[in-house]
Amino acid sequence: MRVREAAKRIAIGAVLLAAVGMTAEAKTKVTSQPFGKLPAGTPVEIYTLSDGAYEARIATYGGIVVSLKTPDRNGKSADVVLGFDDVDGYVANFNGLSDAYFGAIIGRYANRIAHGSFTLDGQKYSLPKNNGENTLHGGPHGFNNIVWKAKPVVNGVELRYRSKDGEAGFPGNLTATVRYTLVKGDLRIEYSATTDKTTVVNLTNHSYFNLAGQGDILKHELTLHASRFTPVDAGLIPTGQWKAVESTPFDFRKPTAVGARINSDDTQLHLGRGYDHNWVLDSKSGQLAEAAEVYDPSSGRVLKVLTDQPGIQFYSGNFLDGSIKGKGGTPDVLHAALCLETQHFPDSPNHPDFPSTELKPGERYHTVTIYSFSTR
């Protein structure tokens, strides 16, 4: 009897603790409001996640991180991501062909698939091409260009999309969930997916960061915890090599200004028009670990990127040329921002020795990336 009573008390205590824990956890204010409509009339919502000095706004169109406000070392707030003021800006920029993908969720397959083709379980699949001979970021009808179903969750928003079997050329009905939460300066992105047919999946977020909130990122100091990278050919498709960064302009194992070596006479830099490569992370794949750090000496802002993914695409905004007018009509100049896209390696479905991106029925794709902001 006494034992049962004690057990009951413990159980009640646990329930109470869980309840308290839940309320204690909900630190961030989450609100939503209309963010315009797509040309076809589909309404788009925008979720605002605010936690004191930090604020993230996420659109249901493309799951786009529209703005991300963080304080500098003096407490002055700035928006540290590129984008547009309204949904019309994103729609106008989107053309399905090598778009800028500002802030968007990328799927089903982040980065390139050579010749838009791969073989899975003995069957050949062909994808629409949108980057010369190749398919980039899920092709012309990727996850960046759909309206996700959204619901508020503790400290954030959860987005859901069901991509049909054969959509954008990929096999299997794929149910994808992306959960954004913001707690203190940590923007956490949790991606999940299940399928009913063997498929490939590689999701990421394509935010363009500028920790100064203006100008270019050439003086941002970057650290990448990676001893190797995957060199590319002229179409930016990996050659299959895992090359040591040692003694190359790709060695960011110690903090180095992005612009310090970007114009070096290096074949890989010429091919990428700057940095646009996948680094092989030193951490054990599947375990959340720090992959990168960016420090802006002018504002004191620090961005740490944590992920459980095996790779990270560091893209130095090489295709920005001032032709895109972003927020407030400001032209997005060359190297106006950098992307750190946590991912599986580009073109993995055609490289059996790269970590596999296959997802089978009954399995769950699940990965976490945290963009963690602070100052120094």
Give the total residue count for the chain: 376
Q: How far is the CB of 68 from ligand GLA (least distance, A)?
A: 18
Q: Which amino acid is at 89?
A: G
Pick the catalytic residue from 45, 158, 167, 206. Answer: 206
Q: How far is the CB of 58 from ligand GLA (least distance, A)?
A: 19
Of positions 130, 230, 313, 357, contacts ligand GLA by CB under 6 A:
313
Q: Which amino acid is at 351?
A: H
Q: Is 111 in the site for ligand GLA (CB under 6 A)?
A: yes
Of positions 50, 93, 98, 285, contacts ligand GLA by CB under 6 A:
98
Of positions 100, 189, 203, 305, contacts ligand GLA by CB under 6 A:
100
Beta strands in 256-300 (DSSP E): 256-257, 276-280, 289-295
**Stretch binding ligand GLA (CB under 6 A), from 44-52, 168-176, 184-192, 311-319:** 311-319
CA distances from 266 to 137, 226, 270 (A): 26, 19, 6
Contact assessment for residue 93 and residue 206, using Cβ atoms and an 8 Å cutoff: no
Q: How far is the CB of 100 from ligand GLA (least distance, A)?
A: 5
**Stretch binding ligand GLA (CB under 6 A), from 48-56, 96-104, 157-165, 177-185:** 96-104
Cβ nearer to ligand GLA, comparing 313 with 342: 313
Cβ nearer to ligand GLA, comparing 100 with 269: 100
- Kindly give the pairing relationship between strand 112-113 and strand 65-71: unpaired
- List the strands of the sheet with 77-79, edge to edge: 29-37, 43-51, 54-59, 65-71, 77-79
Q: How far is the CB of 334 from ligand GLA (least distance, A)?
A: 13
**Stretch binding ligand GLA (CB under 6 A), from 2-10, 98-106, 283-291, 327-335:** 98-106
Q: Is 307 in the site for ligand GLA (CB under 6 A)?
A: no
Q: Where are the alpha helices (DSSP H) in 186-246?
A: none
- Closest residue by Cα to residue 278 from 185, 368, 320, 340: 340
CA distances from 154 to 12, 33, 61, 127 (A): 23, 17, 21, 37
- Kindly give the pairing relationship between strand 339-343 and strand 256-257: unpaired
Structure tokens at 203: 């999701």
Q: How far is the CB of 129 from ligand GLA (least distance, A)?
A: 13
Q: Write out the binding residues for ligand GLA, residues 250-289 only, by CB under 6 A.
A: 276
CB atoms within 10 A of CB 73: 14
CA distances from 227 to 121, 223, 251, 355 (A): 33, 11, 7, 17
Q: Write out the binding residues for ligand GLA, residues 315-354 only, by CB under 6 A.
A: 315, 319, 339
Task: Give the number of residues in contact with ligand GLA, rule: CB under 6 A.
Answer: 11
Alpha-carbon distance of 98 to 129, in angstroms, equals 10
Of positions 64, 136, 150, 338, contacts ligand GLA by CB under 6 A:
136
Q: Is 93 in the site for ligand GLA (CB under 6 A)?
A: no
Contact assessment for residue 358 and residue 198, using Cβ atoms and an 8 Å cutoff: yes
Q: How far is the CB of 238 from ligand GLA (least distance, A)?
A: 11
Q: How far is the CB of 113 from ligand GLA (least distance, A)?
A: 12
- Closest residue by Cα to residue 346 from 277, 281, 268: 277
> Is 206 designated active site?
yes
> Is 366 designated active site?
no
Interface residues toward ligand GLA, by CB under 6 A = 98, 100-101, 111, 136, 236, 276, 313, 315, 319, 339
Residues marked as catalytic:
206, 341
